[in-house]
């Protein structure tokens, strides 16, 4: 039986469309490690779209929509690489490396560039803080797994939630720009993401600490 402990529990994994897409990718000969690397390409596409907002060649609305699309394609790659590896039987010895490291690059690219797209100092600072926070949540999860043998994916601002909020932000900004509305919610939303990340860090550390204490108590010999 494959070890599923490092896989985030996702309902979409059991959906018909996900199973059908994974079979299609298998038929195309794609490998999970390649799909993992493609997630960084889509994250870089998101970052490029957000950096090009000031370009005069296309309306800002187009770039915001492209950014939202890149985020969702990044998440789709994150789903498909695991399905190809496990359900498709293509798991490799270095698969865990490809599963983790591209995700960290993607988090930085997306969150930092969203801060830049906010076009003010607060947004830029919050974007980088969110990127650092995303790395911290992943470090706690991976360190906890090295100590306890299982991954803690609890939120409230784990990767799927962060990316959902980023997608919502991009689509909201696309609407605001299309209607020429001057309101800029980016710094406020980044503040919400950062607050959620801080809570996530606290919850994961608290759980890890309790689990280690419980294991130590359980291993003590009875008097």
In this structure, the dihedral spanned by the alpha carbons of residues 142, 143, 144 and 146, taken in order and rounded to 10 degrees, is 90
Cβ–Cβ < 8 Å for 159, 106: no
Which tokens sit at 31? 């490998």
Q: Which tops the pLDDT comparison, 41 or 59?
A: 41
109 lies in a domain? yes
131 lies in a domain? yes
Q: Residue 210 class from Cβ within 10 Å (0-12 exposed, 13-18 middle, 19+ buried)? A: exposed
8 lies in a domain? no
pLDDT tens by residue, 96-110:
889 899 999 999 999
184 lies in a domain? yes
Q: How many domains does the chain have?
A: 1
The confidence band for 11, taking pLDDT boundaries of 50, 70 and 90, is confident
Which tokens sit at 14? 């059991």
Whole-angstrom CA distances from 148 to 4, 93, 140 are 14, 21, 12
Report the pLDDT averaged over residues 147-152.
92
Residue 56 has pLDDT above 80, yes or no: no
- Phi then psi for residue 195, to 5 deg, are -60, -45
Question: 220: Cβ–Cβ under 8 A, 6 or more apart, which residues?
Answer: none
pLDDT tens by residue, 19-29:
899 999 998 98
Average pLDDT, the chain: 91
Which of 99, 83, 203 shows the shortest CA–CA distance to 144?
203
CATH of the domain at 124: 1.20.120.1760
Report the pLDDT averaged over residues 124-146.
96
Give the structural domain span for 137.
Answer: 15-219
- Phi then psi for residue 33, to 5 deg, are -65, -35
Which of 118, 142, 112, 135 shows the shortest CA–CA distance to 197?
135
Please say whether the dihedral angle defined by the alpha carbons of residues 11, 155, 153 and 130, taken in this order, is positive or negative: positive
Q: Which pLDDT belongs to residue 12?
A: 83
60 lies in a domain? yes
**Token match 């299309």: residue?**
178
9 lies in a domain? no
Percent of the chain at pLDDT above 90? 71
116 lies in a domain? yes
Tell me how long the chain is: 223
127 lies in a domain? yes
The confidence band for 73, taking pLDDT boundaries of 50, 70 and 90, is very high
Cβ–Cβ < 8 Å for 179, 127: no
């Amino acid at each position: 039986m494959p070890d599923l402990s490092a896989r985030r529990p996702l309902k979409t994994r059991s959906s018909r469309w996900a199973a059908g897409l994974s079979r299609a990718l298998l038929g195309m000969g794609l490998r999970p490690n390649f799909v993992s690397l493609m997630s960084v390409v889509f994250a870089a596409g998101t970052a490029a779209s957000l950096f090009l907002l000031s370009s005069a060649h296309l309306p800002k609305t187009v770039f915001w929509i492209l950014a939202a699309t890149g985020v969702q394609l990044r998440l789709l790659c994150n789903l498909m690489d695991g399905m190809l590896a496990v359900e498709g039987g293509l798991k490799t010895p270095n698969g865990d490396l490809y599963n983790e490291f591209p995700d960290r690059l993607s988090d930085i690219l997306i969150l930092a560039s969203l801060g830049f797209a906010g076009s003010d100092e607060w947004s830029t600072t919050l974007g980088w803080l969110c990127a650092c926070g995303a790395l911290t949540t992943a470090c706690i999860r991976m360190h906890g797994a090295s100590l306890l043998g299982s991954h803690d994916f609890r939120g409230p601002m784990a990767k799927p939630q962060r990316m959902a909020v980023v997608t919502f932000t991009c689509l909201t900004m696309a609407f605001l720009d299309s209607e020429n509305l001057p309101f800029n919610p980016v710094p406020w939303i980044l503040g919400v993401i950062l607050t959620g990340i801080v809570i996530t860090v606290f919850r994961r550390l608290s759980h890890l600490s309790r689990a280690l204490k419980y294991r130590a108590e359980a291993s003590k010999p009875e008097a």
